Structure 1
Amino acid sequence: MAAWLGRDGLRGRRWTAAAVASLALAVPLAAGGCEGSVGLSDTRSGTPAPGGSQPAANDAGRARKDLSGLRIAAEGGGDGYARDKFGTRWKDTDRNGCDQRNDVLARDLGKVEKKGRCVVLSGRLHDPYSGKDIAFAKSDAAEVQIDHVYPLALAWRMGASRWGEDQRERFANDHDNLLAVWGVPNRQKSDSGPGEWKPQKGFQCAYAVKYVAVAKEYSLPVTRADHDALQDFLARC
């Protein structure tokens, strides 16, 4: 097997395609899960939750333009990386009184039930990465995880190691770089860029738009392989 990283971890072994497929088959869906890709409605607006939405045409066009302006660079080494180098996990950086994890769950899940104003107890996720519908319960919180679209460890290797602590913390807690996703594809994705890992076809356009926007916002370069994959994903828009 090639290299694999645990979520927020250091480089270890990466699953082969066959191993990934076996893992996905071996892990049962949560209660109520299904194979379909029908999006769930956002209970706040009645519109599809972010995981199943498509970006507007002008967003895709802007992403193509922004991608052409991103610097292409070789991936650096991961020496010195640790999750805590990116500050407090799920800090309330937007100061709305709720931590970022609960903010993202409330944003991305449908049929949300809360304890008080912030704590998400349950909901339904239309997983953007696999297209599956997943039941979330706080008692089994690992079933739905919060992913960094542009992974922290990859950002470290692409230049974030030279940032100040405040900028790394802002990056790690930026809503625009966070998605609620099913735990299985999140573990498969790990710290891979789009040149090594890709979501289901129906989300590749939206994924590329998000990835490019974050890279531009933080002046992060992309590898040649990631650039070419993002270009292909944006062609699906």
Structure 2
Amino acid sequence: MARRAWVTTLVALALAPLALTAGCGAEDEAEPRNDAEAPPSEAPLELPGLPDAASAREQLAALTEAEPESMDGYSRDHFPHWKSEDGCTVRQQVLQRDGEDVQVGDDCQPSSGTWLSLYDNVTVTEAGDVDIDHMVPLANAWRSGANEWTDDEREVFANDLIRPQLLAVTARSNREKGDQGPDTWVPEASEFHCVYGRAWTEVKHHYDLTVTAAERETLTELLDTCA
């Protein structure tokens, strides 16, 4: 894919609101207070834009391998995120999409619901205790090519509801992951490894981001777990 070929059509698509029957959740992120261990998920949430394993392997082979770029100039402010659409932020739309039995008020804030964090198989019952993870973290994207984008292009990346880039997870797992790539961090829930490898590869491929040799090796291993 030529660099930035996605820009001309992506802004309208990636930032379009979900067809919500209800709204969304709080902006602040906190450690979970009402967790319960959940049994392993046999059929994880189907993330949007998730390729099958064969397609992900083809995408992985096409990715450019390179050493990470410098972090010079990086700031999360260069990735404006949680854009509002029709009164709901992108964060809130993900809470609605990923939750079960989510009830909301007129302000899009959930008053009840449950969220199964696929990284660690923990169920959270308070929306304020849920983090929205960027599958490919913002700092990782910066080091693998996003440093050359405009802030408008980075805003599309940070609010992408079309691809498997955003996921509701526990604050603990999100903070453990930080800005690490799969070569240094993978979800502790091993049954999610196949989906994780497919999702990470799709996002890197769509946005023409580079991978390191170690990252490619681990992604290959993750895709090899797919049935």
> Normalising by structure 1, what TM-score?
0.74
Q: Are 2:56 and 2:201, in contact at CA under 8 Å, matched by a contact in 1? A: yes
The CA deviation string for residues 8-46 of structure 1, in whole angstroms up to 9 with x for no partner, is: xxxxxxxxxxxxxxxxxxxx963351253257xxxxxxx
Q: Are 1:112 and 1:120, in contact at CA under 8 Å, matched by a contact in 2? A: yes
Amino acid at match of 2:180: S
Which residue matches 1:8? Answer: none
Which residue matches 1:5? Answer: none
1:226 partnered with 2:215: yes
Q: Which of the pair has the greater relative contact order for Cα pairs under 8 Å at 6+ separation?
A: 2
Amino acid at match of 1:30: R
Give me the whole-angstrom Cα distance separating, in 2, the residues matched to 1:231 and 1:136.
35
Distance 1:217 1:96, change over 3 A: farther
Q: Which runs of 5+ in 2 are unaligned?
A: 1-30
Which residue matches 2:151? Answer: 165
Displacement after TM superposition at 1:55 (Å): 9.8
Q: Are 2:35 and 2:124, in contact at CA under 8 Å, matched by a contact in 1? A: yes
Which contiguous aligned blocks of 4+ residues in structure 1 show a shift greater than 3 angstroms?
53-58
From 126, 132, 145, the equivalent of 1:136 is: 126
Give me the whole-angstrom Cα distance separating, in 2, the residues matched to 1:100 and 1:55.
14
Give the secondary structure class of the aligned counterpart of 2:58.
Answer: helix
Aligned residues between the structures: 194
Give the secondary structure class of the aligned counterpart of 1:122.
Answer: strand
Give the secondary structure class of the aligned counterpart of 1:33.
Answer: strand
Give me the whole-angstrom Cα distance separating, in 2, the residues matched to 1:190 and 1:32.
21
Displacement after TM superposition at 1:98 (Å): 2.2
CA RMSD of aligned residues (A): 2.5
Give the secondary structure class of the aligned counterpart of 1:62.
Answer: helix
> Normalising by structure 2, what TM-score?
0.78
Q: Are 1:55 and 1:209, in contact at CA under 8 Å, matched by a contact in 2? A: no
Displacement after TM superposition at 1:217 (Å): 1.1
Give the secondary structure class of the aligned counterpart of 1:90.
Answer: coil
Displacement after TM superposition at 1:116 (Å): 2.4
Give me the whole-angstrom Cα distance separating, in 2, the residues matched to 1:206 and 1:153.
22
The CA deviation string for residues 86-136 of structure 1, in whole angstroms up to 9 with x for no partner, is: 12x2003xx455210011000111121111273323321111111122222
Give me the whole-angstrom Cα distance separating, in 2, the residues matched to 1:98 and 1:29.
23
The CA deviation string for residues 171-191 of structure 1, in whole angstroms up to 9 with x for no partner, is: 011122111000001000000
Distance 1:171 1:67, change over 3 A: same
Distance 1:109 1:78, change over 3 A: same
Give the secondary structure class of the aligned counterpart of 2:125.
Answer: strand
Distance 1:157 1:105, change over 3 A: same
Displacement after TM superposition at 1:80 (Å): 1.0
From 70, 77, 80, the equivalent of 1:84 is: 77
Which residue matches 2:6? Answer: none
Mapping of residues 183-194 of structure 1, within 5 Å: 183-194=171-182
Give me the whole-angstrom Cα distance separating, in 2, the residues matched to 1:109 and 1:33.
15
Which residue matches 1:31? Answer: 34
Give me the whole-angstrom Cα distance separating, in 1, the residues matched to 2:166 and 2:83.
13
Which residue matches 1:150? Answer: 136
| Identity, % of aligned positions | 38
Q: Which runs of 5+ in 1 are unaligned?
A: 1-27, 40-47
